[in-house]
Every structure is written in C-alpha cells, then in structure tokens.
Amino acid sequence: MSKVKILALHGPNLNLLGQREPDVYGSMTLEEIDRALEDRGKKLGVSIDSYQSNHEGELVDRIQAAAIDFDGILINPAAFSHYSYALRDALSAAGLPVIEVHLSNVFARETFRHHSVITPVAEGMVCGLGPDSYLLGLEALVNILKKERR
Amino acid sequence: MSKVKILALHGPNLNLLGQREPDVYGSMTLEEIDRALEDRGKKLGVSIDSYQSNHEGELVDRIQAAAIDFDGILINPAAFSHYSYALRDALSAAGLPVIEVHLSNVFARETFRHHSVITPVAEGMVCGLGPDSYLLGLEALVNILKKERR
Amino acid sequence: MSKVKILALHGPNLNLLGQREPDVYGSMTLEEIDRALEDRGKKLGVSIDSYQSNHEGELVDRIQAAAIDFDGILINPAAFSHYSYALRDALSAAGLPVIEVHLSNVFARETFRHHSVITPVAEGMVCGLGPDSYLLGLEALVNILKKERR
Amino acid sequence: MSKVKILALHGPNLNLLGQREPDVYGSMTLEEIDRALEDRGKKLGVSIDSYQSNHEGELVDRIQAAAIDFDGILINPAAFSHYSYALRDALSAAGLPVIEVHLSNVFARETFRHHSVITPVAEGMVCGLGPDSYLLGLEALVNILKKERR
Amino acid sequence: MSKVKILALHGPNLNLLGQREPDVYGSMTLEEIDRALEDRGKKLGVSIDSYQSNHEGELVDRIQAAAIDFDGILINPAAFSHYSYALRDALSAAGLPVIEVHLSNVFARETFRHHSVITPVAEGMVCGLGPDSYLLGLEALVNILKKERR
Amino acid sequence: MSKVKILALHGPNLNLLGQREPDVYGSMTLEEIDRALEDRGKKLGVSIDSYQSNHEGELVDRIQAAAIDFDGILINPAAFSHYSYALRDALSAAGLPVIEVHLSNVFARETFRHHSVITPVAEGMVCGLGPDSYLLGLEALVNILKKERR
Amino acid sequence: MSKVKILALHGPNLNLLGQREPDVYGSMTLEEIDRALEDRGKKLGVSIDSYQSNHEGELVDRIQAAAIDFDGILINPAAFSHYSYALRDALSAAGLPVIEVHLSNVFARETFRHHSVITPVAEGMVCGLGPDSYLLGLEALVNILKKERR
Amino acid sequence: MSKVKILALHGPNLNLLGQREPDVYGSMTLEEIDRALEDRGKKLGVSIDSYQSNHEGELVDRIQAAAIDFDGILINPAAFSHYSYALRDALSAAGLPVIEVHLSNVFARETFRHHSVITPVAEGMVCGLGPDSYLLGLEALVNILKKERR
Amino acid sequence: MSKVKILALHGPNLNLLGQREPDVYGSMTLEEIDRALEDRGKKLGVSIDSYQSNHEGELVDRIQAAAIDFDGILINPAAFSHYSYALRDALSAAGLPVIEVHLSNVFARETFRHHSVITPVAEGMVCGLGPDSYLLGLEALVNILKKERR
Amino acid sequence: MSKVKILALHGPNLNLLGQREPDVYGSMTLEEIDRALEDRGKKLGVSIDSYQSNHEGELVDRIQAAAIDFDGILINPAAFSHYSYALRDALSAAGLPVIEVHLSNVFARETFRHHSVITPVAEGMVCGLGPDSYLLGLEALVNILKKERR
Amino acid sequence: MSKVKILALHGPNLNLLGQREPDVYGSMTLEEIDRALEDRGKKLGVSIDSYQSNHEGELVDRIQAAAIDFDGILINPAAFSHYSYALRDALSAAGLPVIEVHLSNVFARETFRHHSVITPVAEGMVCGLGPDSYLLGLEALVNILKKERR
Amino acid sequence: MSKVKILALHGPNLNLLGQREPDVYGSMTLEEIDRALEDRGKKLGVSIDSYQSNHEGELVDRIQAAAIDFDGILINPAAFSHYSYALRDALSAAGLPVIEVHLSNVFARETFRHHSVITPVAEGMVCGLGPDSYLLGLEALVNILKKERR
C-alpha cells in the first residue's frame, strides 16, 4: 500500500507568520510550522507537501492538481475563508477529505471572521490553538484516511 | 464587413467539467463544450475564442484585452459570480454586450449561489440547461450583435 | 411516437406587449411572439399551445390540465414570478419540465424583480434577451424532452 | 335550534390530492377527504359544504357569502397561506370562527412555508397530520361553536 | 373637448363596507361612497365609473381596458396593496395618472399594511380619512388632469 | 360657537419652496401656499396660522403652544418625518387631530423617505399632489373637526 | 400485542393552568386536562403517563427514558418551544412520533411565540384550541401509531 | 508540581451517544469516549474527570466547582452551545482555559447550529472529527496548560 | 396590616460575586449584597428573602411559590435575561410587581446583553449601578407596593 | 471640600408632564419632580440645577457648560434617547458621570423606544418607576460621586 | 471676477476640540483649525467664513443663507452625519459643491458612525486625517470651484 | 535621514482610466495620475513607486514586499475594497500608515460600493475628488510620516 500523501495549504499572508502581529498569530514562522508538520507526519507515517500562496487562483490550481496525487488536504484558508467560493468549489470538486485550520480563535475576533465559506465542505475544523491547530488537524486527517483505507 | 468575434470565458473549476460531480455539472468536458461552441459559431457565421482560468486577475486581464478585438462576451463566471466585483467592473468597462451562463440552475442550489454580482451588467442570463446554456447564450449574443450591426 | 406538445404560458400584462413601455419590453406583440414560437416549434418538430392570462387561478387551472396532455411548459410568469406560490405549487405538481423566461433582465431592474419563487421548481431560466428568451427557452425545453425520450 | 353549518374551503392545487406528490400530501383524494369530513360531520351533528378553488378571488367571494349562511369555516389555504392578505381580510371580515389546517408539517419544509398570514385571524391551527388535520380541525371547530351556542 | 372620464377601482372585500368592522372602515357602504364620488364628480365636471372586485385578475383586466377609454384612475387596492405586483404592472402599463386611497391610516395598523407595492407607480396617496380619502383623491386626480389638458 | 382654528406647520427647508429643485417640489413659494391655504380656509369657514422652522425644537414649542389655542394641526414635517421622535411625541401629547402632508410622492424617492415616524400619530396622510396635498389635507382636517363638533 | 403507551409532557408554568391568566390559557387545571387525556386515552385504547416540569433538564431526562417504554410523545413545550434546542435534540433522538400542542394561538400573540424550535422534529402541531389542542393531538398521535402497527 | 487536572464536560443528550443517530454522531458510546480520554490523559500525564448532564444548571454548578480544583475544561456543550449564556458566563468566570469540541461538523448542518455562544470565551474549538474532536481537544488543552506552567 | 414581603432572586453565576471579574461586577459578595438588602429592608419596614440559583427551573419553581407568600419580586436574571422565556412567563403568571436589576451597564457590553426578555413584564429596570442597582430597585419596589396598599 | 453639584436635564415634551397622557407619564408636573429632586438633594447634601428644553442644541450647549461647574448629570433624554448622537457625544465629551432615567418602562412600549443611543455612555439607567426613576437615579449618581471623592 | 468665498461649517461638539478626548480628536482647538483654514485659504486665493453650532436648525439656516453669498461649503457634520436629513436636504437645496470632512477615521469606530446621510449629496469626503482633513478638503473644494469657473 | 518612500497602489481596472466611462472616472489616464503623483512627491520631498494590478495576489505580494522598503502606502483598492480581506490583512500586517483613495464618491453609487473592508485598517480615506483624491491623499500620508519622524 502506497504511503499516504497530504497537501498542507496556507492562504494569503501566512508567509508572514512569526514576523508580524505575533500577539495574534504567535512567534513561530511558517517554515517552522511546515517543519513541525513534517516531523509529525513522519511519526504518523505520512508524507506532507506544503504550499503557500497569496493568490486565490494558485491555491485553486494546486487543489485541482492535488486531487490526483494526494489523499487529503489540510488547509488554513486565512482571509480567503470569508469569501472565496472558488476555493470552496475546488475543495468540493477534489473529492478528498479536507480539514480546515486557523491559528487564532476566529470567533473571538471581528465579526467578518466568524463566517467561513469553506467549513461546510470540510470534514472538520480546528481553531484557536496556534501551531497546534495544524498539528492536531493533521492527526485528525490521518485518522480519517486510515479509517477509509481499512 | 469583418467577421463577428466572440470571447467565451470560463471561470474557476470549469476546467474540471466532465470529471467531477457529473450529477451537478453533467458529463461533458470543457473541451467538448468549447468544440460545440465552435461548431455552433460556424453555423452562425462567427468566430469564437475560449479561455478558462481559476485566477480572477487573468479573467480581468483577458476581458480588458477583449475590449479591443472582440464584439461580445459569453461568460460562465462560476464561483466568481457571487463576489467578484473586479470582474463586474471589467465587464462593465469593456462596453461589449455580455451574456452570463450557468450550467446548473443556481436558484435551486445553496443560497449563496442565488446572487450574482455579474448579471446587472450583462444583457441577459441563461441557467440550468447544461451545455445548452452555453449554446443558447451564444445564439442570443449573436442575435444582439446582428441587430447592432444593422 | 406521438408528437411532443409544449404549453407556452404568459403571465399578467403580457397581452399588452408591443403597445406599452416598448423601451423595456420591446416592440413585438404577444401574437408575434406566439407566431415566432410556432414557427420555431415547427422547425424543431414540436407543437405549441399558447395561453395568456391576467388571472393567477386561470394559469393554475391551465397548468393542472396540461399535466395530462403536454410534455413540457415554457412560462413567462411576469409579475407572478415574485409572489405566486400557487403557480409554483401547480408547476411542481404537474411534474413536467419547466423553463422560465423573462423578456427583460430582471436583475438590472427594481429589487423586487430579482427574486422569483418559480425558478427553484424550473429546469432553467432565460432572461434579458427579448423575444429570444422565448425562442431559446423553447429550444432548451425541446432538447430536455428529446433526451428524456431517448 | 337550527343545525350547525360549516364551510370547508380548500385552496389552490388541493384538487390534485392523491394523484401527485403522494409522499408529501398522502394518497387520499380531495373527494375522499370531503366524504370523510361529511361522515365525521354527521357523527358530530353538523352539516358541511365543501369548496375548492385555484382562484383567490373565488375563495374570497365564497367566504363573503358564507358569512350569512354558515357558522364556522375550516380552511386549508394551501399556497395562499403565505401571501393572500385578501383571504385574511375576508376571513377577518366574516366574523366566524376559523380553523386553519395543513396536511403536511409546513414547519419542516421550505422556509417560505413557515409563515402563514392566515393564522393570526384564525382560532387555531392543525398541521402535519394528513387527512386527520381536517378531521381534528372539524372537531375543534364544532366544539367552539357548541360552546358559543350554550 | 371631451369630458374627463375617471375609473374608480375598489379592491378585495371593499364590497363589505358599512356592514363589517365599522370601527375600522366606517359605516358608509360602497354604494354610498360611489354615489358620493359621482356627486363630487358632477361638481368637478367629470364622469366616474366604479368597479369592485375580489379578483386580482379582473382588476388587471379592467385597468388594461381603462387605458383606452379613461383619463385617470382612482384606486383603493385594499389587501392587494401589499403584494399584487400584477396590479402594479397593469397600472404602470396603463400610462394614466393614478391616485391611491385608503380609508384607514394603514401606517397605524399591522406592520404588513405599512408597505404598498402600488404607491411608487401612483402620482400620490391619501389615507386615513375615511370616505374623504376617496373624495379628496378624486379632486387631486381631476386637478392633475386639468393641468395636463392645459 | 367659536371659529375653528388650524395651525399649518412647515418643516425644515420648506421656506425654500419655489426657488430650488422645482422639478421635485414645484414652482409655488411657501408664501403662495400659505395664501392658498388661507383662501381655502376662508371658504371652509376656518382660520389658519402658518409657521415654518428649520429648528425641530421651535416646531415642538409651537405644537405645545397650539394645544391650547388651536383645533387641529396640518403638518408637512419634511426631513423631520424620518427621525424626529420629539415631534411625534409633541403631536401625540397635543391631543389634536393631525394631518400629515408631503408635496412629493415620498414612496417614489430614496428609501429613507419611505418611512415616517409621524404618520402613526396622525389621523391621515396626503402625499404626492404638490400644493394640493396641503389644500386637500386642510379639507380633510376641517371635515374631521366638523364631525367632532357635531 | 401490548397496549400503546403515550407520554404527555407539559413544559414550564403549565402547572399553573386554571389559576392564572385564564383569559389566555382557560380555566381548566392541568389535573383536569390530564384526567381528560386519560379518559380520551381509555376510549382510544391507549394508556397515558403525564409529566410536568419547569426544568428543561428533567424534561430531557424524561424524554430519554421514554424512548424505551413509550410509543409516542404528546408535548406542550410552553416557553421552551422558543429556545430549547436540548429538548429538540432529545425528541429527535428518541425516535418516537411527537405531536406538539399549544393551548393558545401562539401566532396571534407576541412575535417571539411565532417560532418553535420543536415543530421541525414533530409529526404535526395543534394550537389555539384550549384543552382540545391536547385531546385532538392525542387522537392524531394514536392514529399515527395505529398506522405504524398495521 | 501537582498533576494537571482536567474536567471533561458533556452537554445534553450526549449520554445517548452510540445508541441513536449513529450516522450523525458515530457508534462510540460516551463511556467509550470517556475511557479513550482517560487513556490519552495517562499518556499525556494528566488526570481527567468526566461529567455529563442534561441540566444546564448542573453544568454551571460543576464549572463553578471546577474553578478551584481543575486546571482546564474540555467541553462539548451540545445543544447548549446555541443559547446558554449561563454556561458562557460560568466558563468565563472560571478563568480556566477552555476547549470547545463537537463530534459533528456543526457548520454543515442546520443553520441554528452554526452559531455558538461559547466559542468566544474558549481558547479554541475542534469540530467534525467524531471522538477525535475530544482527543485532539484534550491534547490542545494539555499543551496550553504546559505552556502556562513553564 | 401584615408586613410587606419581598423575594430577591439572583440568577446564574451571581453566587460568584466578589470573587471573579471584580472589574465588571465589583468586589462585594452576594452575601454582602443580601445583607445590605436586608438592612435597607428593615429601614423600609419590609422583610426580604433571598434566593440564588444556577438552575432556570429552580428559579421558576421559586417564583411560582412566591406568588402566594410574597408581595413583590426583585430579580437580577443575569444570563437568563437574554433567553429565558420560561422565567418571563413565570414572572408574568405570578402577577406580582417585578423590578429587574443588573449590576453592570448591560448596554455598554456585548450586543447579546442589550436585549432582555424579562423587562417587558417588569415594572421597571435599574442597571449599571453595582450593588446600588439592588438597593434602589428595592426602594422602587417598596414604593410601588406602598402605593398599591393605599 | 466644595458641595457636589448636579445638573438635572429634561428632554423634549417633559415640560408637559402631569398635564397630558397621565396614564403613561403620571400626574406629577415637572416642577413637582424638580422640587422633589431638590428636597432629596438637600438630604443627600448636594445641590441640583434643573433644565428642560425641547431643543437638542440647547441641551448640548447646557451639557458643555456643565462640564466646568458640575460634578454629575442626571438626564431624561425623552425622545432624543432614540436618535440624538449629538447629545451622546456631548455627554461623552463632558467626562462627568451620567445617569439616564425614564419615567415609563420604555421596553414595554413601541419598538423604537427599546433602543437608546445614550445608555452606552452613561454609568447606569433607571426606567419604569415614574418620578422614582429620577429620585433613585439621583441617589445612584450621588453615591458614584461620593466614591470618586474618597 | 469676484473672489471665491467658502463657508466652513462645524457640527455639534466641535467647539470642544483640543480640550476633550484629544486621543480621538487631536489637541488642536477649533480656533486653531479655523486659523489654519484661513491661512491656507489665503494661499489658495479664497476667503473663508467659519461657523460652528450645536443646533441643527442654525446650521440649516446658515446653509440656506450661504446659497446666495458663497461658492462652496466645507462641512464637518459631526454627530449630525448619522441622522440629520434636514441638513442633507439643506445642502442638496443649496446647489453648491460640498466637501464633507471628519477628523477621525469614522469607519474604525462604533458601527453607527460608519453611515453618513450627508455623503451622497457631497462631492467627496475626507476622513481620518485630523486637521489635515479640513485643509485637504478645502484644497479639493477650491479645485472644484476653479474648474467650474473655467 | 533617508528619503521618505511611498508606494502608490492601484487596484483592478484602474489601468483603463481615461479611456472608459470618463463620466464616472474622469479623462485622466493612470499614467498621468502617476506622473502627477510623482510631481507632487518631488515638491513634498518624497519618492513614489507606482504599481497597478488586476490580480489580488499580486497586490498582496507587493504590499508584503513594501513593508521592508517603504514608509507608507497610498492605495485605491477599486473593486477589491468591497471584499478583499486578503488585501486588508496584508495592509494590516505591513504595519505602515495607509491612506485609501477613490476617484468617485462611492457613497453616491451602487449600495455595494458603500462598504469598504479596507478603511478600518487605514489611517484615513479620501473619495470623490477625481485625481485630487490621490494628490490630497499623498499630502496626508506625507504629513503623517513627517509627524512620525519628528
């Protein structure tokens, strides 16, 4: 049985992690998060590809490509959560299990952040736990994929 | 008199047509739809250029360029229908007749699909007829252009 | 195989077509539209019966009767689009494919015209193309019926 | 003391009962419901007149006439429930006790069916019980009238 | 110069005037109102035709016919005020000056009575003055017509 | 029996009548309207005092004083219609019959003009008839007062 | 075949029936209603257990227990109708047919009483008929259970 | 340093887990979830107390008591998520880190389940992952507590 | 004449007063507030019973019992203010004068705290004055009861 | 230490107190209320200046002047409560403690009276207690000022 | 050609500038702003009259008078921005170019400050720049007037 | 001290300036605006880089890069104003002062243009002044930066 492959997607401005507004988003950089995901992936026996973009279209392209090579998607849609129906349609079309994650507790911030157009097409959502949102989201995704494989 | 030239634009995720969610979007691929448009175009005596993109900005660029070389626009804005005011402004600025088409009956689906920011700047709209939405939209557009030429 | 029969229904005030507000609704009379539908019907190999009424109840009666003798319904519900749940229920009960058409682009007019209670029970909708809305709607309906017959 | 007379009114499309959408509205025809009402009426010592129309105006006319000859009204306004203020005003003007009934549980269906403009001018409402909605509504109405006579 | 002709239209349930809910609508019957209109019309040098119906379609038919023979319309749309876009479209299509009247002060009653879909296509509106709403509405209409004739 | 006394109140910017935006408000000045009211008052056997102010507080003061010396109030609240609850409370406290008038058809203009906080405490409302709104409003008020005197 | 067993549940403040606000809720006490239910139950060949509580949690506990021993639930959720999603989930989980009843016509009272979170998970609803709401609701429930048993 | 103590709270109807609606909530019982939490707790070096109640007041009492003996709260508020401001205030007053969990993806279900009054006072939220929501929520909570201890 | 008896009710989480969030709710404990109420009661010649509960049902039970033995109710419904229609109905049924109090200025906090379902059935409301809200509320209640006794 | 000085402000139409609508506002005149405030002020050792105006601007002027000479403001904004952001800004700028009072229970009256733009900038609010609203509001204000002085 | 004359209007509470809430409105006084406007006016070759009032009516009066003597209006409507339709109508009637300015960024403050009823009748708006809002607004206004003069 | 550097960003379709819809956006091209900005920049002693894109992602990329090399951002987000939370987050993360400008008065156009998601993270906003919006926005930005440098 081939190794489980997971695509970790990071939405707009997440490349700035660690440098800016650390009180909201923490002091860890995106590279560090990606490395932590990789490490955790190794322990869980899955491989992980990471991709960040500030371009909605590039994320859509990447999701479409993923439908062929990957088994699941871990996504922090960042600001796109609130309006990118294109992203939603891409995830829905991909037909893979999706876990949505957010570093901050979006429900304790500005009203517009309380609504995500992505969650209804995801399996589940994790928010407010900082980098742990990613790591626990990854675990959840791997568990879902393992169940499917059985 | 020069030949009428029409630009057929396809929004995000339409490149996946035929492969995914065929119960909603049908089994025809985008290539097949483009070929059918071309065939119908020949019968109607017009030439057709097709363009698909998952990138809002590329569609805007394409519309701006079209304003010079084309006579009308046939567009399925897909998910962009619901929020891309940039697309709307581009179409409005182009000053060409626009026909908006949708494969599925958007009014019988999720609430967010009931509202298009594009329709108010289009001549008309066709939805729910599968690939026929495109073909009939093309006919409508050609008729409008013929009337203008007279 | 018996000939396909289509009922073309025209809602309130459409009997005034051609005489009033030609800038909104065009200069063609309802009789001319009906004749154009008949002509196009002949080419498509279907027969068409037309019926206009300003009375919601008469349209409901007509739809109920149609369920027995007709294969599809082409309807311009006009003002009834925006509130006639009786018409909606009748169309839904008839169990025939329905195409909704509008002469003008209702989404570019007063807000109350943006919402149709009929569209969710129709196969598709065509608007903004003047008499072409009818003719293309007819083509769409015939295509749907042909597919069903196969 | 003269016999109690009750008018049973059926709104649009209820003449189709038993033939269409039996999963929603049951397999009993309107004739069978009317006969069941008559039978139950006999047991309760009241006479019942039934009337169905797809025309709002005819129902209003019938309610106005009823104000003179009848003692109470049992009404299933069907689709008119959701917008016919004319029906509401007629019932209110009639000054007779009114019971509103619905075959299906309207609150478990489309949102527009959750709101009835009729209920505020009725004594009570019964919904979701199929033909029993009518029979129990009749019992309720007769009980109200008996109390008034005392 | 031919005599000015005015059509006075009465919406649903207004035939009950004087008999029911006199605390809301007054004790004058519709016949008495029509006679008062006629008398006032004579003084103003105009002829008046009256028509009441509980059927939306009949009022639409009447308005369409009026467009040919009459110079202005005085209308109390009653319950139709709140939802009859068919009536609105008919009045708008007729191209005659329209005055809307209401016996009661609709803005001091239930919320649904605060909104009329008719007023935006009328010249003006008079409400809350009992039968005077009609008589003053007539005067206003005659004044408008006189100015136009000049 | 003492002569009926009526207070005619004009809200903010009505002192500009005739000079500005004549396409909306007509070419008659406020002085001319006041004179026309006086003339009509004479015919109706009532005396009329007029008062215009751009100050909400002055209108409230004037209404409070009127409660002692006047029999009825004719008011065009102009822009105050849409937010002056102080004016509403003053009119309500005065305990006199109030007729609200508007020169233009407020329901055919900007949305904010569709809602008046004054109408619920008035007897009736007249709008859209130009200076006739005042004159007919006066007649209505005099009729109400005559009925009360009887 | 074992006897059909029905649980009659009464929400908060219903223990006060007959003593307070008799103009709204009638003069019958809850004990009398329970006795009337028992009597009617005997005639219908079913046994009835009654339970009233002002505690949401106790009603949820009781519903959970009922899922084992009872065949159907007759419930007047009283004030809990408007917000107790816990009650709704309990009823939904119980998997038994549920009939919701209200003594008063909730749709003719304060706006907050127009919305019940319970009705969408009930078979049907009866309101406005005083104690008859319970008795007719019971009949409806028994009929549903009889049909299921067949 | 004393052992970290965590309170796991389960809201209304969660005692039914595994028995009812397994398609929505899975086949694992609450006891099994509690055991899994305990096991995971042992691995993480923390002790866990579990408590379920259908009574809002008992959950509030339990949270108040927890403020003294516990270090963090893991809560699935179930139906109380949507309206229990009492629970929210109790959690907020407790001053302990709180993680909210849901078995199902609440954002893909009925609209009323999309809004939680609890999340704004929690550190984070995990939903849609079945029993994993609890286990990952626990891990997150332990990580937060470890960081605080440092 | 028997001594006036007042029931002071404290809603959920008020037992925590003085210990938690003193910046919002002050440093006085509930016991101290109760003692202050007692002292003030003595000066005013009334006796006071206090009761706090986190259980909505217990508060409803207590209010029902109070209807017999007490003359007035002073209540701080805390979080229940915003959704407990059960509490509202209990207070309304008790038929005693009710004064609602809040320690903090609820209108200067989160939006959900701006709306109380209790106030419409209370005589009056006092908020934002810390423990003074209770003491002044008590004075107000005693004054109301004294007026009634006269 | 100088004597505490309090400004008591009365909004529009409050000069009519005692004369009009005594069922809503009571039979006490504003002079009597002012005297009662003075008396209570003497007992509390504070001096009180009263000021009533129907002019929003005069109240704003008065508040601005008060910022220099006074220690606190007791205000019944009457109708201005619902829209005067100018008053709100003036109170906010004054930087003095403010207590808002209302004679009637505004939450049991028309919907527009449920919202005050003033309360968010006040310390607290008292309503529904007739003249007691003023006297208790005064006590509250004095207590706040005493605490500040300490 | 006569010198361009500009009226600078300051709404309620702006006379307090510099003294209060300097963190929001800056430390410059209104006199200093007026002087800065004058200085800038001199450089631009225009004369400037300033006027501040807390009275809506006085600002309306001033605007009406300005229509005759001035060429443009620079206005900071302050709190009146959010509700003074009287001011809006006055500005609209004046027929002069209007520039609206705000010292603070109103869109980053309370929600009610996000909506101005004035902006739709102004040429443009400048906000958030402190005293620069005035100076740049003045430049803009002068540029508009210069273009018109050409 | 290094020279102040400002980034001027132009959103979608602004590259079309001068060519299309000159009645709305004026006749000046974007190149001319950029040159005017440069000229003004020289006078103010700052250097300006301009960048236009129809791609949201490119603007986000550009803003992120700017955070290192630039001192302030002047942005006309055009259509992105109304939905691009990605742009908002990028501007917010950049930590530079931002001035938002619009050529037209967006508040006098379609409703969707009245709301900008960008303004709350900008220092200020200038709209409706044509190319002057840019030039005055630049001046404002330079003034802010000068104050910071001091």
Give the SS3 label for residue F19. coil
CB D53 within 8 A of CB C57: yes
- Phi and psi torsions of G8, nearest 5°: -100, 120
Is the pLDDT at L2 greater than 90? The verdict is no
Interchain contact C92–E (C-beta under 8 A): no
J83 to chain F: closest CA residue: F83
H85 to chain I: closest CA residue: I79
Contact B126 C107 (CB under 8 A): no
pLDDT recorded at residue C1:
55
Cβ contacts of K95 on chain F, cutoff 8 Å: 20
Contact C124 B129 (CB under 8 A): yes
Interacting residues of D97 by C-beta distance below 8 A, sequence separation 6+: D71, D72, D73, D123, D141, D144, D145, D148
CB I84 within 8 A of CB I117: yes
Q: Rounded to 5 degrees, what angle do the CA atoms L60, L62, L67 make?
A: 100
Token pair, residue F54, equals 């751009």
* I73-102 residue pLDDT tens: 999 999 999 999 999 999 999 999 999 999
pLDDT recorded at residue J42:
97
Q: What mean pLDDT is reported for chain C? A: 95
pLDDT recorded at residue J1:
55
DSSP string, D17-61: TTTS-HHHH-S--HHHHHHHHHHHHHHHTEEEEEEE-S-HHHHHH
pLDDT recorded at residue E148:
82
* C27-67 residue pLDDT tens: 899 999 999 999 999 999 999 999 999 999 999 999 999 98
Per-residue pLDDT, averaged over I34-57, amounts to: 97
CA separation for the pair E140, F129 (Å, rounded): 7
* L4-29 residue pLDDT tens: 999 999 999 999 998 877 777 788 99
Residue for token pair 């009645």: L23
From the number of C-beta atoms within 10 Å of its C-beta (0-12, 13-18, 19+), residue B131 rates as: buried
Closest CA to A128 of H73, E51, H140: H140
CA separation for the pair D54, A72 (Å, rounded): 54
CB H90 within 8 A of CB H63: yes
Rounded to the nearest angstrom, the gap between the alpha carbon of residue C6 and the centroid of all alpha carbons in its chain is 10
Instruction: Name the residues of I annotated as catalytic.
Output: 25, 102
Chains that touch F (3 or more CB pairs under 8 A): E, J, K
Mean pLDDT per 10-residue interval, chain K, length 150 residues: 90 92 84 97 97 98 94 98 98 97 97 97 97 97 89
Chains that touch A (3 or more CB pairs under 8 A): B, H, L
Task: Please report how many Cα atoms fall inside a 13 Å half-sphere around the Cα of residue H51, on the Cβ side.
Answer: 17
pLDDT recorded at residue D61:
97
Cβ contacts of C58 on chain E, cutoff 8 Å: 57
Cβ contacts of I96 on chain G, cutoff 8 Å: none
The secondary structure of B58-93, three-state, reads HHHHHHHHHHHHCCEEEEECHHHHHCCHHHHHHHHH
CA separation for the pair E45, E40 (Å, rounded): 9
Low pLDDT (below 70) residues in chain H: 1
Interchain contact B117–C (C-beta under 8 A): no
Q: Are strands F4-10 and F72-76 parallel, antiparallel or unpaired?
A: parallel
* F9-44 residue pLDDT tens: 999 999 999 887 777 778 899 999 999 999 999 999
Is the pLDDT at J107 greater than 70? The verdict is yes
Q: How far is F41 from chain K (nearest CA, A)?
A: 29
Is the pLDDT at F1 greater than 70? The verdict is no
Is the pLDDT at J82 greater than 80? The verdict is yes
Cβ contacts of A95 on chain B, cutoff 8 Å: 20
Look at H67 and I5; give whichever has higher pLDDT. Answer: I5
Residue for token pair 């003594």: G103
Low pLDDT (below 50) residues in chain D: none
CA separation for the pair E103, F123 (Å, rounded): 11
Percent of chain D with pLDDT over 90: 87
Low pLDDT (below 70) residues in chain B: 1
Interchain contact L123–K (C-beta under 8 A): yes
CA separation for the pair G59, F99 (Å, rounded): 55
pLDDT recorded at residue E1:
55
* G19-56 residue pLDDT tens: 877 777 788 999 999 999 999 999 999 999 999 999 99
Cβ contacts of C60 on chain D, cutoff 8 Å: 12-13, 54-55
CA separation for the pair C68, C47 (Å, rounded): 15
Interchain contact K29–J (C-beta under 8 A): no
Interchain contact C80–E (C-beta under 8 A): yes
Contact G83 H83 (CB under 8 A): yes
Cβ contacts of C108 on chain B, cutoff 8 Å: 119-121
pLDDT recorded at residue J108:
96
CB J62 within 8 A of CB J96: no
pLDDT recorded at residue F14:
97
Do F and D share at least 3 CB pairs under 8 Å?
A: no
Distances in Å between the alpha carbon of C21 and those of A136, C13, C16, C75, G120? Answer: 64, 11, 9, 21, 46
User: Where in chain I are the domains?
Assistant: 4-149
* L111-150 residue pLDDT tens: 999 999 999 999 999 999 999 999 999 999 999 999 887 7
CA separation for the pair H92, H106 (Å, rounded): 22
Interacting residues of J1 by C-beta distance below 8 A, sequence separation 6+: J149
Residue I52: pLDDT band with limits 50, 70, 90: very high
CB G14 within 8 A of CB I64: no
CB C129 within 8 A of CB B123: yes
Closest CA to G74 of G129, G149, G136, G148: G136
CB I86 within 8 A of CB G84: no
- Rounded to 10 degrees, the C-alpha dihedral G73/G79/G83/G85 comes to -20
3.90.1150.10, 3.40.50.9100, 3.60.20.10, 3.90.110.10: CATH of B4-149? 3.40.50.9100
CB C50 within 8 A of CB C82: no
Q: What mean pLDDT is reported for chain L? A: 95
The secondary structure of chain C, three-state, reads CCCEEEEEEECCCHHHCCCCCHHHHCCCCHHHHHHHHHHHHHHHCEEEEEEECCCHHHHHHHHHHHHHHCCEEEEECHHHHHCCHHHHHHHHHHCCCEEEEECCCHHHCCHHHHCCCCHHHCCEEEECCCHHHHHHHHHHHHHHHHHHHC
Rg of the Cα atoms in chain K = 14
ipTM of the complex: 0.94
Low pLDDT (below 70) residues in chain G: 1
Token pair, residue G80, equals 């809990």
Interacting residues of J22 by C-beta distance below 8 A, sequence separation 6+: none
* L40-51 residue pLDDT tens: 999 999 999 999
Q: Rounded to 5 degrees, what angle do the CA atoms J36, J37, J43 make?
A: 95
Low pLDDT (below 50) residues in chain A: none
Q: For chain G, where are the alpha helices, taking DSSP H only?
A: 22-25, 30-44, 56-69, 85-94, 131-149
Give exposure, E42-70, as e/b (b: 16+ Cβ within 10 Å): eebebebbbbbbbbbbebbbbbbebbeeb
Do E and B share at least 3 CB pairs under 8 Å?
A: no
Q: For K3-119, where are the alpha helices, taking DSSP H only?
A: 22-25, 30-44, 56-69, 85-94
I103 to chain J: closest CA residue: J124
Please report, as a single letter, which amino acid is at residue K62: R
Percent of chain D with pLDDT over 70: 99
Mutate one of D76, D91, D107, D139 to test the G interface: name it (highest G CB count within 10 A).
D107
Per-residue pLDDT, averaged over L92-108, amounts to: 97
CA separation for the pair A48, B149 (Å, rounded): 58
